[in-house]
Amino acid sequence: MVREDEFVALCRSHGLAATHQRRVIYATVASLHGHPSPELIYEKVKKKIPSISLATVYNNVRTFLASGMLREVSMHHGSLRVEPNNHEHHHLVCVRCRSITDLHAKNLGLLRLKTQPRGFRVTRIAVDVLGICAACAAKEVSK
Amino acid sequence: MVREDEFVALCRSHGLAATHQRRVIYATVASLHGHPSPELIYEKVKKKIPSISLATVYNNVRTFLASGMLREVSMHHGSLRVEPNNHEHHHLVCVRCRSITDLHAKNLGLLRLKTQPRGFRVTRIAVDVLGICAACAAKEVSK
DNA sequence: TTACATAATGATACAAAATATCAGATAATA
DNA sequence: TATTATCTGATATTTTGTATCATTATGTAA
Ligand SMILES: [Mn+2]
Ligand SMILES: [Mn+2]
Ligand SMILES: [Zn+2]
Ligand SMILES: [Zn+2]
């Protein structure tokens, strides 16, 4: 479990109030293996705080993501997107607006695995170049 | 627009019936730039077939994805997933069950862009090694 | 430490995205 | 053409996520 004073300092440094719910949510995420969904986190947190609301878990997961205290696995859109481009390519993904634009494969050096992962048959390697797109950068300057 | 006989042959080779709706949906996707959502495809297709149902668009987009006639942009789960692992790492992503497991960054050769994309401030490069996980491979053999 | 302003929580309503169901229509095959 | 399997479209339902708002807790400064 995350120490109380450490958690307070961490929240302070991110401009967040250090609430009991936040401490338990944060500690729960840190204790989990894999890549949990808010619903799974909610199930785990409920064992410590039975009265907690799913909305509070969502609110705080999003607050942690926005503040940088937690990261998200994928920066893609949440909903299904179809790929009409059949050429071999990768993507530029904006971490602010989640816009996705194509990037020719030749813009990246040769990709290869040093060791083959055991029990996993590799079919393709997809690269996301993450960052801030021009539109979002412009908005940032004008603020 | 995709030629009628070509489309029929394409469907035939994927074991699908060549319906009018499918032809229009497929041609619409091919005509679009970017990475459209089923809802956007639906809006475009409705101009050609006003009576079409959103469910039909969803059904056929998923049929195309399952058959390999179309690809999906991201093989990640549709819903939000949190990353508890703060170390620099990449992911093995199963294209069947969408399970995501961590892959140490050192298993990949140095990643770098040959040319910086104009107007895009790169912050990080995320790699998904796509393929079939052991569990899904086992299911495939037993079939 | 107390008082107060600000921010967070939890209950619930709402919305978006996706899937299930099924009667009737259409396509593949013979 | 007739038969069968598949597909379509209308609609209901589920899943995932967001908005609202009264109540409660936190941070700060007197
Ligand atoms: Mn693309
Ligand atoms: Mn990970
Ligand atoms: Zn952007
Ligand atoms: Zn799998």
B76-88 residue pLDDT tens: 999 999 999 999 9
Same domain, A9 and A62: yes
Chain A residue at shortest CA distance from B107 = A114
pLDDT score of B143: 46
pLDDT score of A142: 58
pLDDT score of B1: 67
| pTM given for the model | 0.93
Same domain, A36 and A65: yes
Same domain, B64 and B121: no
Same domain, B27 and B54: yes
Query: Which protein residues have Cβ within 7 A of any strand C atom?
Result: A 16-17, 19-22, 49, 51-56, 59-60, 63, 78-80; B 8, 11-12, 17-20, 37-39, 54-55, 58, 62, 78
B81-139 residue pLDDT tens: 999 999 999 999 999 999 999 999 999 988 889 999 999 999 999 999 999 999 999 98
> Which structural domain, as residue segments, surrounds residue A69?
4-73
Q: How many Cα atoms occupy the beta-carbon half-sphere of B110 within 13 Å? A: 3
Q: What is the mean pLDDT of each run of 10 residues along chain A (143 residues)?
A: 89 97 98 96 97 97 97 96 96 96 91 92 96 92 57
B27-82 residue pLDDT tens: 999 999 999 999 999 999 999 999 999 999 999 999 999 999 999 999 999 999 99
Same domain, A96 and A131: yes
Long-range CB pairs of B48-51, under 8 A, 24+ apart, other chains included: B48/B24, B49/B20, B49/B21, B49/B24
CA separation, residue A139 to residues A98, B1, B71 (Å): 15, 38, 32
Same domain, B97 and B53: no
